[in-house]
Structure 1
Amino acid sequence: MKAVSLLLLSFFCFGTEGFCFRGQSHLNGSSAAGLDQDPDQVLDLDLSAVFRRVDPRFLSVTIDASLASEERFMLLLRSQKLRTLARALSPAFLRFGGTRQDFMVFSPQRSQHLDAAESCSSTRLPWWLENQLKEDWIQQQLVLMKEEQQKSYRKVRFTELTVDLLHSFSNCSGLDLIFGLNALLRTADNSWNSSNAHLLLQYCESKQYNMSWELGNEPNSFEKKAKIRVDGYQLGLDFVHLRKIMSESKLYRNGGLYGPDVGQPRDHRVDLLDSFLQSGAKAIDACTWHHYYVNGRDTSLQDFLDPEVLDTLALKTKEVQKTVNSVCPEKSVWLGETSSAFGGGAAGLSDTFVAGFM
């Protein structure tokens, strides 16, 4: 407990303005023994001014696009238990995206859709079907993991049903949906082919689905996972093109558009982000980036407790903000995706208490 007391003391003294911890003289000794002599500490809080104000949706969640790798798994979003748990997280954004969003193609089938008039209580998933889907998902994860390891992703076609289930889930859970569009649909001159996205937006508008949009996921890795190279400046132009499409829609004219969802700044990723902002900053409402602390396939418990590893978020955040401020200082910066370890997480660590430090 003495170590915990010192940790809290250090945090309040050096990590935050507007806080004053009385009784700091105990830190001057060679040990924490002084705390036993005077265990009562007083914390004074200056509440005369707001230090930082955040959006009520500051903490938000992502449903990985791999759930749509077979459309039947999207039915899990009808689970009443899942909806109840998600409702406790509201208000928040619900982002649908990830690596496989850039391999998804909208293929309307007209017969595959939900009735927009269905109430939240009438779309429950039968218990037997929920159990079956959960069992099948265990095997599906093995297939997805193999694709991930081989960097060989198959094209996934989804129908109106996927969009309907996503919107129903977010709407019934009190979450604001952000849908990630496929940026790897390219034309002969390597600009974005927007025809499929246009088709999807038209369908969503016909159903009056109020939602926001992203385009592409971690463009810095396009070449590695799809052998397609898209530079930052061209990606920015693609976002401008998407914003133009949205401006022609009555429903999405003032809708949210976020990007480029670049990986944490390293090597060419900084240049990619800078050049993206040069051409596309005016199109987006917030600049998004992703942060992971460690590689899930090569990490340890020590990494999860290492202060230098834990500090990387603050360091990388400053780097991203520096890049954004140099081009468009008025633009908000969002951490669009984060977790402990990339590559599907670290088995026995990412799903345990210790990951809470990250």
Structure 2
Amino acid sequence: MSPSYLRIGGTAGDYMIFNKTHHQRTSPNHPTYPLKVADWDNLNHLVMYAGLDLIFDFSVLLRKNGHWDPTNARELLEYTVKQGYKPAGYELGNEPNYFHGAVSEKQLAKDFAAFKNIVSSSGVPPFLTIGPDVGGMVPGSRAQTYLKNFLEAGGGDVVDVVTVHQYYTHCQNLTVKDFTDRKLLDTLIPEVDSFVKICNKKAPNKQCWLGETSSCSPSGAQHISDRYVAGFLWLDKLGLSALHGLQGVLRQEFYGSYYGLIDINLNPNPDYWLTLIYKRLVGSPVFDVTQTTDPNVRVYAHCTNVSSSIGYKPGSITVYFYKPGSITVYFILQ
């Protein structure tokens, strides 16, 4: 999969504590997850050996007097520098719009500014500041308002990459047919368009990523998200994201759950192979080859990735298309 980012984050990230400070707690009603020194060592060795770039999400719920408490982060950063580890990016918090007012947009922007300053002063190599990882970007939603307010309050000046999370729907009662439903696939378009518009207006010249995304939440649909049919949603999301102006898509998740690229026994699921083929063939820029004859047919085209081991020459084009259902469709490529 190299080159790729491997993100360690999610809901549990806001309850994770580097184990040198056992006394810290994020919430009296929620267990904390210890990040042991050995775990951090193994993780950094893994990404180095695999040629991946690590993104790590610090807990924003470690707080003191209404502000983010950097004590635990400093300890982890000091150890990281001492060991010579080089994570590519850092996040602060996961889906803060779901904190029920615990961290306002304005306060989060201040926390991010303090966070970036602390990471920069720790002596780590150059890094990306990534966030705010807002969840549920349906047009007109509270999530959109939270993102706008965060960027306007100074967050847009602090982050290098603006991120939101996206899932098509909740997994409950989803069927195989839903995974090839054009209407469900098309729900992504207004979400991406509104996100890119906000990002470009409030944080110009910053990258816009889907910082966490998959088929449905939570954990995917059993016996569907880990099967061949899930590829329709995944391939279309990759195509639409590129076509509508996103620079990055982080898949949730690599290991485990029903929507994992590999299962708990380390066996690749179909989306793993689809992702691998996509990374080896698809490059940039992307071309607008949208067709209107049949809305069920999805067509995407890019310059081919000539830097992969396959050996395509500059000027090569990669086209991918599909049509759910049993009707035969003929394509003439000119």
- TM-score normalised to structure 1 length: 0.60
1:158 to 24, 35, 38: 35
Note the residue ranges of structure 2 that are not aligned, 5 or more in a row.
22-28, 234-334
Which protein, 1 or 2, shows the higher relative CO under an 8 Å CA cutoff with sep ≥ 6?
Answer: 1
Shift of residue 222, structure 1, vs aligned partner: 2.1
- The residue aligned with 1:106 is 18
Q: Residue 95 of structure 2 aligns to which amino acid in structure 1?
A: E
Shift of residue 153, structure 1, vs aligned partner: 4.2
Q: Max radius of gyration: which structure?
A: 1
- The residue aligned with 1:28 is none
Cα-Cα RMSD: 1.5
SS in 1 for 2:223: coil
Residue 94 in 1 paired to residue 94 in 2?
A: no
Larger strand fraction of residues: 2
Q: Residue 124 of structure 2 aligns to which amino acid in structure 1?
A: L
Mapping 1:188-199, distance limit 5 Å: 188=65, 190-199=66-75
Residue 174 in 1 paired to residue 46 in 2?
A: no
- The residue aligned with 1:42 is none
- The residue aligned with 1:262 is 134
Mapping 1:336-355, distance limit 5 Å: 336-355=211-230
Q: Residue 226 of structure 2 aligns to which amino acid in structure 1?
A: D
- The residue aligned with 1:63 is none
Shift of residue 244, structure 1, vs aligned partner: 0.6
State the number of aligned residues: 222
- The residue aligned with 1:292 is 167
SS in 2 for 1:333: strand
Q: Contact 1:214/1:259 (CA < 8 Å) preserved in 2?
A: yes
Q: Residue 283 of structure 1 aligns to which amino acid in structure 2?
A: V
Percent identity, aligned pairs only, is 38
Q: List structure 1 runs of 4+ shifted beyond 4 angstroms.
A: none
1:272 to 146, 154, 175: 146
Q: Which moved more, 1:242-251 or 1:175-184?
A: 242-251
Note the residue ranges of structure 1 that are not aligned, 5 or more in a row.
1-88, 110-151
Take 1:303 and 1:108, find their aligned partners in 2: how far apart are those partners? 46
- The residue aligned with 2:116 is 243
Mapping 1:96-135, distance limit 5 Å: 96-108=8-20
Take 1:250 and 1:194, find their aligned partners in 2: how far apart are those partners? 15
Q: Contact 1:257/1:284 (CA < 8 Å) preserved in 2?
A: yes
* Deviation sequence 1:273-302 (CA, Å, 0-9, x none): 011112211211110111111211232223
Q: Which moved more, 1:322-331 or 1:256-265?
A: 322-331
Residue 220 in 1 paired to residue 97 in 2?
A: yes
Larger helix fraction of residues: 1
Take 2:145 and 2:90, find their aligned partners in 1: how far apart are those partners? 24
SS in 2 for 1:353: coil
